Amino acid sequence: MTARTSSSAPDPSTPSPARRLLAGLAKTIRTPMGATATVFLGVVLLAAIVAPMLWSGTAAKVDATALDQGPSGEHWLGTDNLGRDLLLRVLVAARLSVLLSLSATAIGISLGLLLGAAPWLLGPRLGRLAAAFVNIAVAFPMLLMTLFFAVIFGVGVQGSVCAIGISMAPWFARLTQTLIAGVQKRDFVAAARIARVSRFGVLRRHILPNIAEPLIVNVALAAAAALLAFAGLSFLGLGVQAPEYDWGLLLNEGLSGIYVNPAGALGPGIAIVVAGLGFNLFGEALAKVLGSRHKVRTFRPRGASRTVSGSGGHPRQHATDGSAGDAIAPAGEVPVLEVDRLRVSLDTPNGTVSPVREISFSMKRGEALGVVGESGSGKSLTALAVAQLLESPLHVEAATLRLLGKDLMAADPRSRATRRFLATSLGLVFQNPTTSFNPTMRIGPQLAEVARLHQDMSRRQAGARAVDRLRAVRIPGAERRAKQYPHEFSGGMRQRAMVGMAMMGNPSLIIADEPTTALDVTIQRQVLNLLEQIRVENQVAVLLISHDISVIGQFCSRVLVMYAGRVVEELPSADLRTSARHPYTRALLSAVPDMTADRSQPLATVPGRPVDPADRPAGCAFAPRCTFATAQCHTAEPPLQEVGSGGTVACWNPQEGAVTAVQGQVQQAGRGQA
Ligand SMILES: Nc1ncnc2c1ncn2[C@@H]1O[C@H](COP(=O)(O)OP(=O)(O)OP(=O)(O)O)[C@@H](O)[C@H]1O
């Protein structure tokens, strides 16, 4: 059997999952292959329903006067050695053959789904064991497994159904695993995890609906395989036993008299081929229809091809008082977030690697803090570590990690209290609004999930809260929109709805991980305006992650510049152009084009490549790309030290002077170069 996975991504252009599937089925029936399959299956199903009702008695009637006859006007396929009409027996056998095949398929699919979902349900460690078990089981040919289990369970109908079902399960499990792996990295699954929906809940509501189509396609193919396997077992005498009969048994009997009456073997043989072809062709046709629909859909992998180019400066000046993202909270209040020496590591065969290390910062109520750096600098891992969303093999250490004073390092992440606390205190907004929502669920229920799970609200109350949040993020016609699917929203509207989702639980902190990268400039401004409004009106602290230093400079009051997993500079955003000292920060700033930039020249880039955490050079990680590096930079890592005007920098040769935009490769502006 060959699994069909072409339709793993759901189609955004059709209205609902059920209607989408029905439309797919209707379209399948109209294709030449689908129409042929429908005719074949129609004939088989008609025989399975009608024939036993009409002819089961006649087909079992022994006629000593008509033994082993060839085809005639009275007996179109002839008779068997007891004078029974072979055509009637083939027709009557349709019910048992189809029923047993479908039962075995049902067992195979149920077991396969369970096994396939086990890695997701059991978590990374135990999940790897489940995946390894499936990998080993899949290595055995299905026919061999069927024979093995048939011998174990014993001859007969029940044993055969179990044998075929069990031997089919690994194949279906592997397919399920592959499909789940494709969906589980999508942002809406992460969003559900942030809402602390249980793993089973995420599977049921967010994953299974999104892999249903390819699974259904493969059910048809599995039914064909089960039909053939059953016929094989009965033919070998391990399946259905006389006086019951299915096509496999009839084929066996027909073959023993093939020289007397070839039609006796031909009849059940044709029945098996017609039914098998019907299931197979239908599966193929359905796969083609659903697969072609999905060709239009492509998702850019998160983080792919993101580099700091400095392009796309934001026209937005957010702060009404001239100081972007200033904290509103009174002094002395418990910080919203306290992070001290945060480290994220993973064990590799070559030792422990730490993609994030020694990160320290704190955030007050209503403060906007920006984290900037090239792709791979550790921004997202830092955010996910704060949100307690990292799993094995990554592990998080920190001297302090407190959210609203609660020690997250000491809290049990699986306890209901911690899950509730995180789901209601912390909101997350992702980069790509297209993948942030489950395409098979309406927007309202998706928003309502947090309120139902963690705020003890009824379905109606949670729905009302969702509408209220949609209104708060300025979605026009919020009540109507809540009943729509994500694909009915525009990109900007979806991102605003995502912000609304982050606001469901009255959070004190919103982490926005590149929330505007996938949007065009006008919509970027709308989303940033919205975050700004929420920050000011609700005193929510916003941790804004971006590779675009100009966005950070406009939105945030303070900036953390990350390089190779650590903070290399922290400073007020108002001082970025005048007081940035680290050559890396200055290079990022120089790469942002301004109004005087020559458009005929290519956009500026920072020369060299970011560092691989597993292969960090000795000394300062930026030294190989830095024009100011001295011998000391290549041997000793500079500590993060305070400098004037409330900033810190980790550099042996901090630079001074204003930074201006350049073109081509950035030569980091040094002392006196303005
Ligand atoms: N699950 C993981 N296992 C191992 N390494 C990882 C994992 N996730 C991220 N990394 C590595 O950690 C480093 C930091 O990744 P991170 O996603 O935090 O970077 P980033 O600054 O957010 O980049 P981007 O802007 O592309 O998202 C990268 O080198 C990345 O390859």
- CATH value at residue 138: 1.10.3720.10
Domain for residue 559, yes or no?
A: no
Q: Is 381 in the pocket of ligand 1 (CB under 6 A)?
A: yes
Q: In this predicted structure, what is the pLDDT of residue 671?
A: 42
Measured in angstroms, how far is the CA atom of residue 472 from the centroid of ligand 1? 33
Q: For residue 56, is it within any domain?
A: yes
Output the CA 346–ligand 1 centroid distance in Å.
12
Can you tell me the distance from the alpha carbon of 258 to that of 395, in angstroms, rounded to the nearest whole number?
69
Q: Of 103-117, 165-179, 305-319, where does mean pLDDT reach its minimum?
A: 305-319
Closest atom of ligand 1 to CA, residue 393? 3
Q: Binning pLDDT at 50, 70 and 90, where does residue 662 land?
A: low
Query: How far, in Å, CA of 259 to CA of 467, rounded?
Result: 76
* SS3 category, 368: strand
Q: What is the residue type of 577?
A: R
pLDDT of 563 strictly over 80: yes
- CA-to-CA separations, 587 to 219, 496, 631, 634, 658, in angstroms, rounded: 56, 32, 21, 19, 12
Q: Of all protein residues, whose CA lies closest to atom 2 belonging to ligand 1?
A: 394
The share of the chain scoring above pLDDT 90, in percent, equals 34
Pocket test for ligand 1, best of 302, 342, 346, 379 (most atoms within 8 A of CB): 379
Is 287 a residue whose pLDDT tops 80?
no
Bridge partner residues of 79 (DSSP)? 85
Q: How confident is the model at residue 218 (pLDDT cuts 50, 70, 90)?
A: confident
More confident residue, 185 or 79: 79
- Which residue's CA is minimally distant from atom 30 of ligand 1? 376
* Residue spans of alpha helices (H) in 295-425: 379-386, 416-425
Q: Is the distance from the beta carbon of residue 613 to the nearest atom of ligand 1 less than 6 Å? A: yes
How far does Cα 627 stand from its chain's mean position? 42
pLDDT digit string, tens, across residues 225-255 = 899 888 888 888 888 898 899 999 999 888 8
In a domain, 55, yes or no: yes
Q: Which run of H or E residues covers position 427? A: strand 426-429
Which ipTM value was assigned to this complex? 0.96
Q: Taking residues 445-472, report their average pLDDT.
A: 88
Question: For the residues 323-350, what does the mean pLDDT come to?
Answer: 74
For residue range 373-386, list pLDDT tens digits in order.
988 899 999 999 99
Pocket flag, ligand 1, residue 303 (CB < 6 Å)? yes
Question: What angle separates helix 86-138 from helix 208-235, to the nearest 10 degrees?
Answer: 120
Query: What distance in angstroms lies between residue 90's CA and the mean position of ligand 1's atoms?
Result: 62
Q: What is d(CA 489, CA 481) in angstroms, rounded to the nearest whole number?
A: 8
The number of the ligand 1 atom at minimal distance from the alpha carbon of 373 is: 21
| Residue 241 domain-assigned (yes or no) | yes
Atom number, ligand 1, closest to the C-alpha of residue 390: 1
Percent share of the chain, pLDDT over 70: 86
Residue 249 lies in a domain: yes
Which residue's CA is the nearest one to ligand 1's atom 27?
303
Alpha carbon 656 to its chain centroid, in Å, reads: 46
Residue 301 lies in a domain: no
Ligand 1 atom showing the smallest separation from residue 383 Cα: 18
Give the chain's mean pLDDT: 82
CB 655 within 8 A of CB 648: no
Output the CA 602–ligand 1 centroid distance in Å: 28
273 Cα distance to chain centroid: 38
54-87 residue pLDDT tens: 999 998 888 888 888 888 888 888 898 888 999 9
How far CA 17 is from CA of 205, 437, 440, 442, 571, in Å, comes to 12, 14, 6, 10, 49
**Per-residue pLDDT band at 108 (split at 50, 70, 90):** very high
**What pLDDT, on the 0 to 100 scale, is given for residue 453?**
80
Cβ of residue 355 lying under 6 Å from some atom of ligand 1: yes
Does residue 14 belong to any structural domain of this protein? no
- The pLDDT value recorded for residue 665 is 53
CA of 426 to the centre of ligand 1 (A): 21
C-alpha 465 – ligand 1 centre gap (Å)? 35
| Residue 398 identity (one-letter amino acid) | A
Q: What is the pLDDT of residue 602?
A: 62
On whether residue 2 sits in a domain, the answer given is no
Say what the pLDDT of residue 13 is.
44
- 617 Cα–ligand 1 center, Å: 18
Per the structure, the count of domains in the chain is 1
Ramachandran region, residue 119 (left: φ > 0; alpha: ψ -120 to 50; beta: rest): alpha
pLDDT for residue 316 is more than 50 = no
Task: Name the residue range of residue 274's domain.
Answer: 24-63+74-294
Res 161: pLDDT: 92
106-115, 177-186, 258-267, 595-604: segment of lowest average pLDDT = 595-604
Do the beta carbons of residue 120 and residue 199 sit within 8 Å? yes
Residue minimizing CA distance to atom 18 of ligand 1: 378
Closest atom, ligand 1, to C-alpha of 378 = 18
16-30, 247-261, 328-342 — which one is most confidently predicted on average? 247-261
Separation of alpha carbons 87 and 76, rounded Å: 6
What is the per-residue pLDDT for 600?
Answer: 65
**One-letter-per-residue 3-state SS of 498-544:** HHHHHCCCCCCEEEEECCCCCCCHHHHHHHHHHHHHHHHHHCCEEEE
Residue 273 has pLDDT above 70, yes or no: yes
State which H helix or E strand residue 141 sits in: none
Q: How far is the CA of 392 from the centre of ligand 1 (A)?
A: 14
Residue 328 is predicted with a pLDDT of 45
